[in-house]
Chain A
Amino acid sequence: MAIDLNNIGALVEEDQVHKAVYTDADVFDLEMDRIFGHAWVYVGHESQIPNTGDYHQALIGRESVVLIRGEDGKAHVLYNRCPHKGAALVVNPCGNAGRFLRCPFHGWNFRCDGRLLSVPAREGYEDTRLDTRDPQYSVKRVARYASYRGFVFASLAEDGPSLEEFLGGISLSIDNFCDRAPEGEVEVSGGVFRVRQRSNWKIFFENLNDTSHPMVTHESSVNAARAKYKSLPEGSEMPFQLHIIEGNGEPYDFWGALEMVAYDHGHSYMGAIFMPPTDRISLEHQASLEAVHGAEKAREILAVQRHNSVIYPSCSPHTSFQQLRVIRPISVNETMVEIYTFRLKGTSDEFYQRSVAYANIVNSPSSNVMPDDIEVYARCQEGLQTDGGDWVSHHREAGREKAEGDGRYTAGGLSELPMRNQFRAWAGYMTKEA
């Protein structure tokens, strides 16, 4: 079927979507313009660029951008392009530009906030139409950027909702991420994993709150972890490493009892799947929060128990294991996911090291859990390209969600509400003319 790009809304129904949203290259191009050209997209964290000239590269849709600390102490988001001949100004994922950004081609220099500083042999431009004061000869800044508690988002569009309006209720996931730190701040630490998926970016987003897949997709790692546990001495407590793998084997009732909450703009979260831990490291953490806030406030902070949160269409924080996954569409059938681990300021090394262990087990390219996820995503990408059917079902518990009136939509833990909610936002972006 040829896709009518002028009638893109027809691809999304309340409880199903047309396969073209995952497989059609023209639809992908349109997403780059209409979704990634407008939405607030996560760029990086302020802690990655503490000093002037520190930078971190990121992608906003197709756009290569640089998050950089300017001389003014502020984080700026610039297009990675020299305004002279167009060369990319930085090529490393992160680093320090020095006192200014220098183009390696003809030596034009720019302040770290993008403004043109100097052009060699300037007299050559006298009496030409090139005016070095014209902003088009400075490195172009992205239209809007803003930080929410250190998490920097940017929008390529001049107009639209503010970052806080965009985040709405899901901002509580970022708040809770930071509030769990006794000092109220977090910092990126310990390296970043980058993983390639041979599938459309939306398939990964849907999976973040897909509670009816773990027991099926992850049977191999669940069985392996359980078999290993059985071989331990009778009565052993299940080690943390096995527990976080084995948890995927919980039955449907378990997942059905979880909290499932969605917001406008495609955001959502599911309740935590691991009980609040009561081991020494966790209790010390709790005590350090109590020392700062008192017992009641500390309890309130720790009572917010969320597994994956979805901040559509660019990232997913996991508040109780201090990590953030960043999702970058590469092409209609390829996606890159970055996994960042955070240190909660004011917590112990041991506490942080547990987050590192969690990332190693669950998010490393060598994870025993993830390959089966990535495999089923790729199989969807493959199957969707056949003529075996045009529609993808999102019917589970459709129509049973409740609008709570405070911006929240709630549903049963097994509901496919998050998927329907993502496509509601998707259709909103896609049917708006640029």
Chain B
Amino acid sequence: MATMVSTQADIGRVSQFLYEEAALLDQRRWFDWMDLFAEGAMYWAPLTPDQPDPINHVSLFYEDAMMREVRARRLEEQRAWSQQPLVQAARIVGNIRLGEPEQDGEILVRSTFIMAESRIPFHRQIAGFYTHRLVEREGRFLIAQKRVDIIDSEGVHGNFEGFL
């Protein structure tokens, strides 16, 4: 069904959506977060900044709904040893800009994020860029694709357990 979407989308509404999304992740509300995705949507964190595609090259994350759900379920398992103590995170999302949509009916949103992550006693900072492709359905935004490019994607990493 055709919906009302345009690049003129209210930047305030889009920003609010990104803030709410970040808050769901900070609060470890994985299942509510997954509800933000449109059908068939992918969550993708390339390994290299210029990575042409997610299927001929390895990625830090390349997950469909099924694999997102496996991750969410694992994080809540009682015997997820690496979640004792829990990994906690706090994100700031900013520099939100609307871009030229690649596909009709989509809103392209670019933003920058900084995320502090702690698993006591360890602490690290993760920073990078979000690229959201949003669609509007029945008056609410849904994520058609979320791409995360962290600035040191090709570095040596500890685990990324939750979603970025």
Please give me the residue from chain B that is nearest to A355 by CB atom.
B58
Report B-chain residues with C-beta under 8 Å of the C-beta of A194. 154-157
Task: Give A256 to B23 CA distance when docked, in angstroms.
Answer: 46
Taken residue by residue from 335 to 379, chain A's Cβ proximity to chain B (1 for < 8 Å, 0 otherwise) reads as 010010100000001001100110111011111101110111001
Contact B59 A364 (CB under 8 A): yes
Contact B157 A196 (CB under 8 A): yes
Report B-chain residues with C-beta under 8 Å of the C-beta of A376. 81
Report A-chain residues with C-beta under 8 Å of the C-beta of B59. 360, 364
Interface size on B, residues (CB 8 A): 34
Task: Give A370 to B82 CA distance when docked, in angstroms.
Answer: 9
Task: Give A341 to B55 CA distance when docked, in angstroms.
Answer: 12
Contact among B56, B61, B66 for A366, CB-based, below 8 A? B61
Contact B81 A336 (CB under 8 A): no
The residue in B57, B61, B70 that gathers the most chain A C-beta atoms within 10 A of its C-beta is: B70
Contact among B57, B67, B79, B155 for A220, CB-based, below 8 A? B79
A195 within 8 A of B: yes
B25 within 8 A of A: no
How many residue pairs link A and B with beta carbons under 8 A? The number is 115
Contact B58 A366 (CB under 8 A): no
Task: Give A370 to B55 CA distance when docked, in angstroms.
Answer: 21
Q: Tell me which residues from 14 to 68 in chain B have a Cβ below 8 Å from any Cβ of chain A.
A: 45, 47-48, 51, 55-62, 66-67
Report B-chain residues with C-beta under 8 Å of the C-beta of A367. 159
Q: How far is the CB of A201 from chain B (nearest CB, A)?
A: 14
Q: How far is the CB of A39 from chain B (nearest CB, A)?
A: 23
Task: Give A162 to B159 CA distance when docked, in angstroms.
Answer: 38
Taken residue by residue from 224 to 263, chain A's Cβ proximity to chain B (1 for < 8 Å, 0 otherwise) reads as 1101100100000001011001000000000000000000
Task: Give A379 to B51 CA distance when docked, in angstroms.
Answer: 35
Task: Give A352 to B67 CA distance when docked, in angstroms.
Answer: 20
Contact B159 A365 (CB under 8 A): yes
Q: How far is the CB of A23 from chain B (nearest CB, A)?
A: 19
Interface size on A, residues (CB 8 A): 48
Contact B66 A219 (CB under 8 A): no
Contact B69 A228 (CB under 8 A): yes
B158 within 8 A of A: yes
Contact among A228, A349, A375 for B70, CB-based, below 8 A? A228
Report B-chain residues with C-beta under 8 Å of the C-beta of A349. 56
Q: How far is the CB of A245 from chain B (nearest CB, A)?
A: 7
Contact B45 A366 (CB under 8 A): yes
Please give me the residue from chain B that is nearest to A217 by CB atom.
B81
Contact B73 A366 (CB under 8 A): no
Known contacts: A190-B58, A353-B55, A376-B81. The answer to whether A368 contacts B158 by CB under 8 A is: no
Task: Give A370 to B71 CA distance when docked, in angstroms.
Answer: 12
Contact A223 B159 (CB under 8 A): no
The residue in A93, A193, A242 that gathers the most chain B C-beta atoms within 10 A of its C-beta is: A193
B80 within 8 A of A: yes
Contact A368 B70 (CB under 8 A): yes
Contact B71 A368 (CB under 8 A): yes
Contact A221 B74 (CB under 8 A): yes
B100 within 8 A of A: no
Task: Give A191 to B58 CA distance when docked, in angstroms.
Answer: 6
The residue in B62, B77, B82, B158 that gathers the most chain A C-beta atoms within 10 A of its C-beta is: B82
Please give me the residue from chain A that is nearest to B163 by CB atom.
A366
Q: How far is the CB of B68 from chain A (nearest CB, A)?
A: 10
Report A-chain residues with C-beta under 8 Å of the C-beta of B48. 191
Report A-chain residues with C-beta under 8 Å of the C-beta of B80. 220, 371-372
List 29 A–B pairs whose Cβ atoms lie within 8 Å, in order of A's numbering.
A190-B56, A190-B57, A191-B48, A191-B51, A195-B157, A196-B157, A220-B77, A221-B70, A221-B74, A221-B77, A228-B70, A228-B73, A241-B66, A241-B70, A245-B70, A352-B56, A353-B56, A356-B56, A359-B58, A360-B59, A361-B67, A364-B59, A364-B60, A364-B61, A365-B60, A366-B159, A368-B71, A375-B82, A379-B81
Which residues on B are within 8 Å of A, measured CB to CB? 45, 47-48, 51, 55-62, 66-67, 69-71, 73-74, 77-83, 154-161
Further contacts, 15 of them, CB under 8 A, given A220-B79, A359-B58, A361-B67: A93-B154, A189-B56, A191-B57, A191-B58, A194-B156, A195-B157, A198-B158, A220-B80, A223-B77, A242-B66, A364-B59, A367-B159, A368-B70, A374-B82, A374-B158
Which residues on A are within 8 Å of B, measured CB to CB? 93, 189-196, 198, 217, 219-221, 223-225, 227-228, 231, 239, 241-242, 245, 336, 339, 341, 349, 352-353, 356-357, 359-361, 363-368, 370-372, 374-376, 379
Q: Top 10 nearest A-B pairs by Cβ distance?
A: A220-B80, A224-B73, A220-B77, A375-B82, A371-B82, A224-B74, A365-B157, A366-B160, A371-B159, A194-B156
